């Protein structure tokens, strides 16, 4: 499994960088579109492998997970 970072937008026009483990980029795009994201760009190359080590390191890099994006504390608005 590889780590990917997608720049996404929600229906309100807000942007986020989402960390998604996946087998390939197309799989990641499908996962994000299934939850209502508009996938803007693959930004994986802007991050180092150690950035994906823990939730704390993800947060330090400004990344969220799909679970955080769709969680009860999120203001994400799906398309």
> pLDDT digits over 8-36, tens only?
999 999 999 999 999 999 999 999 999 99
Indicate whether 46 belongs to any domain: yes
Q: Give the total number of structural domains in the chain.
A: 1
Do residues 71 and 59 touch, judged by C-beta distance below 8 A? Answer: no
Contact 3, 43 (CB under 8 A): no
Q: For residue 65, tell me if it sits in a domain.
A: yes
Q: Provide the residue range defining the domain that includes 29.
A: 2-70
Alpha carbons 34 and 65: distance in angstroms, whole number: 15
Do the domain assignments include residue 78? no
What does pTM read for this prediction?
0.93
* Res 55: pLDDT: 94
């Amino acid at each position: 499994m590889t780590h990917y970072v997608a720049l996404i937008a929600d229906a309100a026009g807000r942007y986020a960088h989402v960390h998604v483990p996946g087998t390939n980029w197309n799989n990641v795009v499908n996962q994000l579109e299934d939850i209502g994201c508009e996938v803007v760009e693959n930004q994986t190359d802007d991050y180092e492998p150690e950035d994906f080590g823990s939730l704390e390191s993800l947060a330090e890099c400004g990344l969220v997970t799909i679970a955080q994006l769709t969680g009860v504390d999120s203001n994400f608005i799906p398309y």
